[in-house]
Amino acid sequence: MRRITHWVNGTPKESDTDRWGPIFNPATGEIQAEIPFATPAEIEQVVASATTAAGSWGSSSISARTEVMFEFRHLVHTRKDELASAITAEHGKTHDDALGEISRGLENVEYACGIASHLKGGHTSQASRGIDVHSIRQPVGVVAGITPFNFPVMVPLWMTGNALACGNAMILKPSEKDPSASMILAELLKEAGLPDGVFSVLHGDAQVVGSLLEHPGIGAISFVGSTPIARSIYSRATAAGKRVQALGGAKNHMVVLPDADINVAADSAVSAAYGSAGERCMAVSVIVAVGEVADPLLEAIAQRLEALTIGPGNDPKTDMGPLITREHRDKVASYIAGAADEGATVVVDGHNLVVDGEAANGFFFGPSLVDNVKPGMRVYDEEIFGPVLSVVRVPTYADAAELVNSNPYGNGVAVFTRDGGAARKFSREVTCGMVGVNVPIPVPVATYSFGGWKDSLFGDAHMYGPAGIDFFTRTKVITTRWPDPATSSVDLGFPKTR
- DSSP string for 31-68: EEEEEE---HHHHHHHHHHHHHHHHHHHTS-HHHHHHH
For 314-426, list the strands marked E by DSSP: 345-348, 368-371, 388-394, 409-410, 412-416
Burial grade of 1 (CB within 10 A; 0-12, 13-18, 19 or more) = exposed
Cα 353–335–316 angle (5° rounding)? 35
Edge-to-edge order in the sheet of strand 473-481: 123-128, 131-139, 473-481
Where in the chain do CATH 3.40.605.10 domains reside? 2-248+456-478
Q: Which of 113, 166, 281, 432 is catalytic?
A: 281
166 catalytically annotated: no
Where in the chain do CATH 3.40.309.10 domains reside? 252-437
Instruction: Kindly report the backbone phi and psi dihedral angles of residue 470, in degrees, each rounded to the nearest multiple of 5, phi listed first.
Output: -60, -40
Helix H or strand E segment including 86: helix 80-90
The domain 252-437 belongs to what CATH superfamily? Aldehyde Dehydrogenase; Chain A, domain 2 (3.40.309.10)
One digit per residue, the tens of pLDDT, for the chain of length 498 reads 899 999 999 999 999 999 999 999 999 999 999 999 999 999 999 999 999 999 999 999 999 999 999 999 999 999 999 999 999 999 999 999 999 999 999 999 999 999 999 999 999 999 988 899 999 999 999 999 999 999 999 999 999 999 999 999 999 999 999 999 999 999 999 999 999 999 999 999 999 999 999 999 999 999 999 999 999 999 999 999 999 999 999 999 999 999 999 999 999 999 999 999 999 999 999 999 999 999 999 999 999 999 999 999 999 999 999 999 999 999 999 999 999 999 999 999 999 999 989 899 999 999 999 999 999 999 999 999 999 999 999 999 999 999 999 999 999 999 999 999 999 999 999 999 999 999 999 999 999 999 999 999 999 999 999 999 999 999 999 999 987 777 777 878 777 766
Which CATH code fits 2-248+456-478? 3.40.605.10
- What's the confidence (pLDDT) of residue 129? 86
Q: Are 314 and 27 in contact (CB under 8 A)?
A: yes
The SS3 call for residue 191 is helix
Angstrom distance (rounded) from CA 455 to CA 383: 12
* Dihedral sign from CA coordinates of 260, 263, 267, 269: positive
Distance in angstroms between the alpha carbons of the first and the last residue of the chain: 73
- What's the confidence (pLDDT) of residue 498? 67
